[in-house]
Amino acid sequence: RCVSNKYSVRIGGYQYGKLTLRPLYFLVSPFLNKLGAGYINFADISFKQDEVIQVSSKVDNFNALYTALFWFYLDFGVLGIVIFPFLFGLLLRWSILTLTRRFNLPNLLLAFFLFQKIMHFVFDYSFVTFQDLLFLLALYYLGNSRKRIATVC
Query: pTM here?
Result: 0.73
The rounded distance, in Å, linking the Cα atoms of 90 and 34 is 34
User: 102 Cβ partners below 8 Å, 6+ apart?
Assistant: 143, 144
Strands annotated E in 53-146: none
What's the confidence (pLDDT) of residue 62? 55
Backbone angles phi, psi at 83, to 5 degrees: -80, -45
Predicted local confidence at residue 16, as pLDDT: 82
Question: Residue 104 forms beta bridges with which residues?
Answer: 151
pLDDT tens-digit profile of 73-115? Answer: 888 888 999 999 999 999 999 999 999 999 999 999 999 999 9
Q: How far apart are CA 40 and CA 44, in angstroms?
A: 8
